[in-house]
Amino acid sequence: MHQSAMNRMTDCIEKYLTKDEHYQVLDFGSFINTGQEMHHRALLANYDCTITGVDIQDGRNVDLQMAKPYRIPLPKNSQDLVISGQVFEHIPFPWASIMEIARVLKPNGYLFITAPSRGHHHSTYDLWRYYPDSMRALAAQADLKLLAAYTDFPPNVPESNRHDYAAINSKGHYWGDTTGVFQKPQWRFSLRRLLIREITVWNANRIGGLDSVPRPKRRRL
């Protein structure tokens, strides 16, 4: 996790949380590698929170390991806040994950997502880069209200709406992040929503990863 993503998550926490409430917090994709020091628990140190970290692998910063990659082992309507930083770019089927997150959120609960808008390939699976419209699509899929979506694009070319990619550097603009802030409305029971979620999650868990599709050789078409 890089510093710009932590800064964006800090902005969300400071804007939407208060220090006079207790929050049940789910850190979705909480695993941190050996040597990595930045994590979301530190950002919530001054808030009254019970934090549960979940991930598909056990290890540092993980309280509950997910037996299935698209099934969160928590009851519905149980979390006041879900935070997910630099995770959604690694999820093959993010529409299944967003629906599971929406399931465990309490009505009026918040979801904060940061995900790269640019940056080099990293990790075993690195599938997506996100823009504000990506957050709109996730909100639509999961019946969530999108409160804010922001991408820290690189500087523009002077007197143009084009990005100045030559100005990107490792210090200031190399990594870009898109931040989404969602809120779960007061849902009425919907058989449509229930069936779509269960089928989507079941199918994503059935496929699992991408092993059934071999990685193509690098060559020109």
The C-alpha atoms of residue 128 and residue 5 are separated, in whole angstroms, by 16
List % helix, strand, coil for the chain (3-state, nearest 5).
30, 25, 45
Domains of the chain in sequence order: 3-207 (3.40.50.150)
- The 3-state DSSP class for residue 156 equals strand
The CA-based angle 39-116-43, given to 5 degrees, is 20
Q: Which two tokens stand for residue 134?
A: 């990506």
Confidence category of residue 84, pLDDT binned at 50, 70, 90: very high
Contact (CB, 8 A) for 18 and 61: no
Torsion on CA atoms 16, 20, 21, 25, rounded to nearest 10: 60
Distance in angstroms (rounded) separating the CA atoms of residues 59 and 30: 9
**pLDDT tens digits along 85-100:** 999 999 999 999 999 9
Residue 187 and residue 142 in contact, taking contact as beta carbons nearer than 8 Å: no
Rg (CA), the chain: 18
pLDDT tier for residue 221 given thresholds of 50, 70 and 90: low
Q: Is the pLDDT of residue 52 over 80?
A: yes
**Alpha carbon distance 123, 98 (integer Å):** 21
Does the model's pTM come out above 0.75? yes
